[in-house]
Structure 1
Amino acid sequence: MKAFRSFKADWGQATPWFAYCIITFTVSDLIFGIDSSIFGALQALPSWTSQFGTNVNGVYKLTTYRQAIVNSITYLGRLVGTVTFEPIVERFGYKKLFWAIAFIQFVVVIVQITAKEWIQFTAGRVLSYVLVGWIESAAPTYAAEIAPMSLRGFAAGLVTPVNTVGAVWGAAMCRAYATETRKIGWMVPVGAQMIPAVLLIVLLPMSIESPRWLVLKGRKEEALRGLRKLRTKEHAAAGLCKAELEVIEQAIEYDVQNNTARWADLSKGSYVRRSFYVIIFFFFYQCTGNSFYAAYGPTFLVSIGLGAKSFTYNIIVQCMGAVGAFIAIFTTDIVGRRPLCILGSALLILWDCLIAGLGGSSTHTTSANNVVVASFVLKIWSTKLSWATHAYMMSAELGGPRMRKKLMMVGTTADLIFAWIVSFCSPYIMNKPYGGIGGKIGYIWGGVAVLALVFAVLFLPELKGRSLEEMDELSSRFRWGWQYSSFKTTGVGARMAQVEMAKVEGVQTDTKLNDGSDDKASALSIQSL
């Protein structure tokens, strides 16, 4: 009952404008989800392989070299997007970046649909992955900036379930053309990638720019108007919107005066540990098998003799991934980040070893194949429940108000590097005459899952119910993962947490925080960070 009341109170802070803005910016994640799902399936579609593959004994397929290239070179585009995300947002804001994403997506689809050779098609995907680099960095960061504290986990983590919904969409379209040999079999799924761009163009005009970014640019009145829409009427009437904005402004002013938001700071103090944590989050996300399935899942299922059924199973896998991701974002602010990641890691060990043991066998019985498929279904569910959702969510949180964009860039850069390594190396590890271990590659993922479980138990920070401004004080020294939830902050972060929870003593009007003693206390609190 207590948990239900807490859940109801948390969601009572969600306003229609907040929901609209979150939906608008997370629509872009459909682009990422559809692209990754479609291309994993395209490589097994006869319509696509007959145009871009090589005829080997009457069967069209990609050579090992070409397969490695088309699945890995796209990460160069993703790297460009990840590296340029912060300077673009700092200068132009989130809304203009997403306008650019919408219009460039049209160019991407045109380049791919008009392709006659695999090189042009791959070039279109490289450009698409520039957008992916922007989306996976900007969407969760924007959500973390506008969300009330109690809904930050849900908002920042929404990137994963929406991404997975896109993957289901892509998988379903490819299933519809599983036996089609004409060009239309791959052109329709690729052309459908224009739909999220159209939705962005329709929704963006009425969305609200991040109040934190507006304050940074000196547009305080516009920031206050936006924040009053994003928060409840009761919150605004009590003067808490202005109080929240003043704390944000004080933190930004301190940052500007002391020049603390520098890249060099990532190699100093607590940011070294935080950077390492963020890198580890994405390492576990990609290297427990998620990246492999995204690139080669349907192809692998075809290789063990499942034929056209592979595309149906792919839809089931993606649907269960969506279920896992939605469970994660709806429960993470209730049960916490750590329990979900610990549970997910433990389950990944089991599923990865089952895939390796049965999928790597020289004989494939119907029963064994059914277990392999079920293991992939539960594996992706477990990944989405844990690292796939929390890697983005916690990376957007750990940097605090100063370094969140830079730390997010570190995380997404690590993400694409690990994904590239898995995508490029997997064909050589699995196929003959190279590694030739086939499905036994699952033992590698299982080994990484063991490390993920150890890390989650010992080191993973619990950030449930914390404000962005509390992160610096929380990370001021090393703590075991379970110690974060009981630590009491005292600085400006604690004050922001009180404001967001509408418990700031004496704040009944918009002028109360202008008392001299309060300003002095806030300044001291900020300096203590």
Structure 2
Amino acid sequence: MSTEKIPAEHVDAPGATQVEKVDVDLLNDAVDGENKEHQMGVWEAAKKYPWACFWAFIMCFTIVMEAFDMFLNTNFVALEFFAKTYGVETADGSYTIPTRWQSALFQAGQCGAFIGVYMAGPITNKIGYRWTTLLGLVLMNATIFISFFANSLTLLVVGQALEGVPWGFFIANSPAYASEVAPLPLRAACTATLQMSWSIGSIIVAAATYGYNGLQNQWAWRVPIALQWIFPTPLMILIFLAPESPWWLIRRGRREDALRSIKRLGAKTEEAAHQSLAMIERTVKIEEETGGSPTLLDLLKGTDRRRTIITCLVYASQNFAGNLIANQATYFFEQAGISSDRAFQLNLITTCLQFVANIGSWFLTSWFRRRTVFLWGTGTNVMFLFILGICASIPQNHNTNYAQACLGVIISFVYAGAQGPISYTIISETSSVRLRALSTAVGRSAYYITEIPMIYLSSRMLNTTGWNLAGKCGYVWGSTALVTWVLAFFFLPELKHRSYREADILFKRKVSAREFKTTVIGVEENE
């Protein structure tokens, strides 16, 4: 990994005349702590803070459950016996799940998660990341029973909706917690593991549905549903043992508990621990000047409005860059003319390649800046999506079928290595510390608000009882991805190498997005 360090002008010596409302001793420790984080390379930080990486990964691993269930539903519609049991017969004698029920299965969990993310923010502010996540895991264990014993599409949809509520807890808290426990050089790698968790979930689903695809009974889908029980209980034990975010503890006035958390996360000396604590306290004190207890309305006030809009747009953009092709990969392969068994094999290959791409994203985020990865990743998929549309528009044969399938795999690979993981890094870094739990929740709700109609649109485009566009959907997703690229070019700020204090100052000064990279903020500055 890169050991790139920030330019020297980023760590100017402090000038006491510019410091107001901050204790001098606290300032000195905070400056020393921030200087040390700025001067650390990625590999050095990983060696010094392995426990911070571990606990960030464990929290992010809760996303496996949302990924598992979401991909499970998209694979159900491609299961032969499931379609025969709950579907309708088509003109060629095969069976398919009607578009309205496909959409309901795909959207039910997202609707529940939409409710969950809005519950997560206030609950997290009250009881912390650990206990909110534990509550979500208990709910997850309980709601899986409904899906497992469902004997109709209606009950299965209800089960998915209820499972979605704890998903909202997980996706709202994971990027926020990971960004708060990881030191500055590791924020990108730790938050990028969210996308890896999606890939792990999809790999398990692809393997399970491929293994049970040949069964001609109800266990073809009930066993994969039951596999969800593998995750919650072990995660409950680990999350219970995890340290609470020191940032949350400081915001609650629990200084000694915050110091213990910092030591558990990897600070090896008293001096290093107190410097990290001082850096957190300084940033929290600066942000406290903007208001008291955080509320949802605060997200729309002052400079936080801009930060909220960026968070929402980055989250929503995940639905406009061709990612939904990956989410419905098996069905997409079948509609592209690939046999059912080969489609499940290709889906398993795709998910494994996504996992490899996720690992590659750790190096990309270390070597390149956030804007660079986002823009190049999105731009590359714009090109491939339009090529997919062209490939589906010419006379079709065996070769064009496989060309469309390969393009679907490539689009998924690029997304999993670039836009997907870097989005979580951008989201976690953009929000202010004071409003982070609320900001990540509202940002994720923007994702669901755009995803729900997009899932319906995607189902209509692919389904034989809908528009039956197959690979021609590349024109649609290529156009939406192009809009995403243009908006990111003009409005996405660069926050690599920036502490949360520096990010606060840049937003307060209303620095334009393309000047974030070059604006110098002295260590002594508070506003």
Q: TM-score range by the shorter chain?
A: 0.7 to 0.9
Match of 1:369 in 2: 401
| Structure 2 equivalent of residue 320 of structure 1 | 353
Number of aligned residues:
490
Q: Does residue 275 of the first structure (1) align with residue 308 of the second (2)?
A: yes
Tell me, yes or no, if structure 1 residue 50 matches structure 2 residue 84. Answer: yes
2:369 to 321, 336, 354: 336
Letter in 1 for 2:292: N
- Residue 59 of structure 2 is matched in structure 1 by 25
Shift of 1:427: 2.9
Q: 2:74 aligns with which of 37, 40, 51?
A: 40
Distance 1:68 1:457, change over 3 A: same
Superposed displacement of residue 431, structure 1: 4.9
Distance 1:431 1:171, change over 3 A: closer
| Secondary structure of 1:93 counterpart | helix
Give the alignment's Cα RMSD to 1 decimal.
2.4
Name the structure 2 match of 1:201. Answer: 236
**What's 1:353 paired with?**
386
2:253 pairs with one of 201, 218, 224: 218
Please give the per-residue CA displacement for 1:265-299, whole angstroms capped at 9, x wherever unaligned: 333333332222222212321112212431x3211
Q: Is the 8 A contact 2:125 2:437 kept in 1?
A: no
Larger mean CA deviation between 145-154 and 333-342 belongs to 333-342
Q: CA shift at 1:337, angstroms?
A: 0.7
For residues 200-232 of structure 1, the C-alpha deviation after alignment (integer angstroms, 9 at most, x for no partner) is 123123211111222222222111111112133
Q: Do the aligned partners of residues 440 and 194 (structure 1) sit closer, same or farther apart at CA in structure 2, a change above 3 Å counting?
A: same
String of CA shifts for 1:119-177, please: whole Å, max 9, x gaps.
11111111121122111111011111111111111122211111111111111111112
Distance in 2 (alpha carbons) for counterparts of 1:327 and 1:2: 13
Q: CA deviation at 1:414?
A: 0.8
1:300 Cα deviation after fit: 2.0
1:70-122, Cα deviation, whole Å (9 max, x unpaired) = 22233220110111110110111111122122222222221111111011111
User: Which letter does structure 2 place at the counterpart of 1:54?
Assistant: V
Identity of aligned residues (%): 23
Give, in whole Å, the separation in 2 of the partners of 1:237 and 1:392: 28
1:301: which partner in 2? 333
Query: In 1, Cα distance between the equivalents of 2:273 and 2:311?
Result: 37
- What is the DSSP-based 3-state SS (H/G/I as helix, E as strand, rest coil) of the residue aligned with 2:215? coil
Whether the aligned pair in 2 keeps the contact of 1:396 and 1:405 (CA below 8 Å) is no
- 1:408 maps to which of 419, 425, 440: 440
Q: d(CA) in 1 for partners of 2:293 and 2:138?
A: 35
- Contact 1:462 1:484 (C-alpha < 8 Å) held by counterparts: yes
Answer with 446-455 or 124-133: which moved more.
446-455
**Residue 419 of structure 1: aligned partner:** 451
**By how many angstroms is 1:478 displaced?**
4.5
Q: What pairs with 1:17-416 in structure 2 (closer than 5 Å)?
A: 17-56=51-90, 58-234=93-269, 236-237=271-272, 239-251=274-286, 253-255=288-290, 258-259=291-292, 261-294=294-327, 296-307=328-339, 308-361=341-394, 363-416=395-448
Cα distance change, pair 238–267 in 1 and its aligned pair in 2 (3 A) = closer
- Cα shift at 1:237: 4.9
| Contact kept? 1:292, 1:423, Cα under 8 Å | no
Q: Given the alignment of the two structures, is residue 461 of structure 1 paired with residue 493 of structure 2, yes or no?
A: yes
Structure 2 distance, partners of 1:101, 1:196, is 12
Preserved contact between residue 175 and residue 425 of structure 2 (Cα < 8 Å): yes
Superposition TM-score, scaled by structure 1 size: 0.86
Cα deviation, 1:338-359, whole Å, max 9, x if unaligned, reads 1211221121012211222223
Q: Counterpart amino acid of 1:329? A: W
Asked if structure 1 preserves the Cα contact closer than 8 Å seen for 2:258 and 2:277, the reply is: no
**CA distance in structure 2 between the aligned counterparts of 1:129 and 1:49, rounded to whole angstroms:** 23
- Provide structure 2 residue ranges, at least 5 long, that are not aligned to the other structure: 6-40
C-alpha displacement of 1:477: 4.5
Conserved in 1, the CA contact under 8 Å of 2:192 and 2:362? yes
Question: More deviation in 145-154 or 469-478?
Answer: 469-478
Tell me how far apart the structure 1 counterparts of residues 111 and 388 of structure 2 sit (CA, whole Å): 30
Partners in 1 of 2:76 and 2:382 — Cα distance? 29
The structure 2 residue matched to 1:474, chosen from 506, 510, 516, is 506
Helix, strand or coil at the partner of 2:443: helix
Q: Which ranges of structure 1 fall in alignment gaps of 5 or more residues?
A: 496-524
2:267 and 2:273 in contact (8 A); partners too? no
1:190 to partner: Cα distance? 1.1
The one-letter code of the counterpart of 2:171 is: E
Which secondary structure state, in structure 1, belongs to the residue aligned with residue 95 of structure 2?
Answer: strand
CA distance in structure 2 between the aligned counterparts of 1:47 and 1:434, rounded to whole angstroms: 21
Q: Distance in 2 between matches of 1:134 and 1:109?
A: 16
Q: Which amino acid aligns with 2:152?
A: E
1:476 maps to amino acid? K
**Cα distance, 1:434 vs structure 2:** 5.6
CA 1:261–1:188 in structure 2 vs 1: closer, same or farther (change >3 Å)?
same
| Residues 36-76 of structure 1: CA deviation (Å, up to 9, x unaligned) | 22111111012322333234454332112222222223322
- Quick one: structure 1 residues 188 and 348, their matched pair in 2 at CA, closer, same or farther if it must change by over 3 Å? same
Q: Residues of 1 paired with 2:313 and 2:273: CA distance? A: 42
Q: 1:292 to 1:374 in 2, by over 3 A?
A: closer
Provide the C-alpha distance between the structure 1 equivalents of 2:134 and 2:393, rounded to a whole number of angstroms. 46
* 3-state SS of 2:434 partner: helix
Change (3 A) 1:70 1:244: same
Rounded Cα–Cα distance in structure 1 between residues aligned with 2:314 and 2:109: 22
Distance 1:433 1:175 in 2: 24
1: distance between equivalents of 2:268 and 2:258? 16
| 3-state SS, counterpart of residue 261 of structure 2 | helix
Q: Secondary structure at the match of 1:402?
A: coil
Tell me the TM-score normalized by structure 2: 0.87
Structure 1 consecutive aligned stretches of length 4 or more whose deviation exceeds 6 Å: none
